[in-house]
A and B are shown apart, each in its own frame.
Chain A
Amino acid sequence: MTPPQRQRRQPTHEPSPPIPEDLPGAAGERPPERLYILTGEDGERAPIDLVTLIVARAEPPPSAAPEQSALIRICQAPLSVAEISAYLNLPISVVTVLLTELLTAELVQARAPVVRQARADRSLLEAVMHGLQKL
């Protein structure tokens, strides 16, 4: 029996840069609701990714909305944006909005994700391989 035949495709555009140079809405394909966080001391902009780790910096203030309080409460230990979405049962876009407010109020801290660069980080890949081998 012969398997069905596929036809290879070519890259249609440049791979998207991990850290966009433009503000939300400026890039052609990116919807305007994309939100950005400030990371580190240099104030570099990075998008909130599915795997950005979030940690609470304070107890929820009495003025916080229930969603915000719940978010702060479950982030006592680091938690990814995807996990926050799963536990709060809210779509990623809603979680992103909540997080932007909480980051501005300095009630939570964001730890930027590792993203694929044009030059992949070999030491990162080696660390992942080591970790997987121990499973």
Chain B
Amino acid sequence: MDFKSSDTITGPRTEDHLPHTAQAAAKIVIVGGFGVGKTTMVGSVSEIRPLTTEETMTQAGIGVDDNYGSKSKTATTVAMDFGRISITDQLVLYLFGTPGQERFWFLWNGLFEGALGAVVLVDTRRLEVSFDVMGRLEERNVPFVVAVNDFPDAPRYAIEELRQALDLAEEIPIIRCDARRRASSRDVLLTLMRFLHSLAISGPSA
């Protein structure tokens, strides 16, 4: 591992500093198939320029089906883009967008653990690339909403048609968005928060 000399490390710019009053942070995860606009969404609402973190996954952490028949003990580096929104002087929200390699997301220790919830971003031209990730969220009981990133040339299905195709329960919100637009991406996050709030009122089952 190359560690740059301490002098060359540049931390956050002064304007990117959190106030000293910041006491706690929460996270949400934006998932979806390759190229549906996850990183775009993180970038459009983040107050800082999106950053990239990474984790090294050793073979022990990688499912047998992924490394089937492989005898080498390889380590895989999984990268993750994220952004930040200061909610109050005390509370900070982090948004993690998950590029490629979706089979690794759920092995990343602590990524979904403790997350308030998830946004599944879908592209109606390739709806099926988001099927697996939705199933994995369901298996792990991570609450999520579905945001349809409206690409100009994508087929437009009625929301109810999408609900049926995605086999989503009535209470799970599905909304259209333009991930490039800040207000639109913010509305997706608000939809997730309202949904989580409704779950909090209706009981601890979710």
Contact = CB atoms under 8 A, between A and B. Distances in A.
Nearest to A20: B113
B3 interface: yes
Interface residues of A, number: 73
Interface stretch (B9-17, B34-42, B64-72): B9-17
B102 to A, nearest CB: 15
A34 B110 CA distance: 10
Interface string A66-104: 110110011111111011011111111110000000000
A127 interface: yes
A129 B139 contact: no
B25 to A, nearest CB: 4
B85 A135 contact: yes
B139 to A, nearest CB: 4
A11 B113 contact: no
A131 B85 contact: yes
Contacts, number: 228
A42 to B, nearest CB: 16
Contacts of A77: 12, 17-20
Contact of B51 (A11, A83, A129): A83
Given A11-B140, A77-B20, A85-B54, A131 B91 contact: yes
B26 A132 contact: no
Contacts of B189: 132
Interface in A93-135: 93-94, 111-116, 118-122, 124-133, 135
Nearest to A121: B200
Contacts of B157: 3
A88 B194 CA distance: 36
Contacts of A49: 27, 110, 113-114
Interface in A2-16: 2-16
Contacts of A78: 18-20, 22
Nearest to A126: B197
Given A49-B114, A93-B56, A113-B114, A12 B24 contact: no
A1 B158 CA distance: 12
B142 to A, nearest CB: 8
A87 B139 contact: no
A8 B167 contact: yes
Nearest to A88: B9
A4 B190 contact: no
11 contacts: A6-B131, A6-B166, A6-B167, A51-B92, A69-B6, A82-B51, A86-B53, A122-B201, A128-B93, A128-B193, A132-B87
Given A51-B26, A78-B19, A128-B93, 11 more contacts: A11-B139, A11-B141, A15-B142, A51-B92, A53-B92, A80-B92, A83-B51, A116-B114, A120-B204, A125-B197, A132-B189
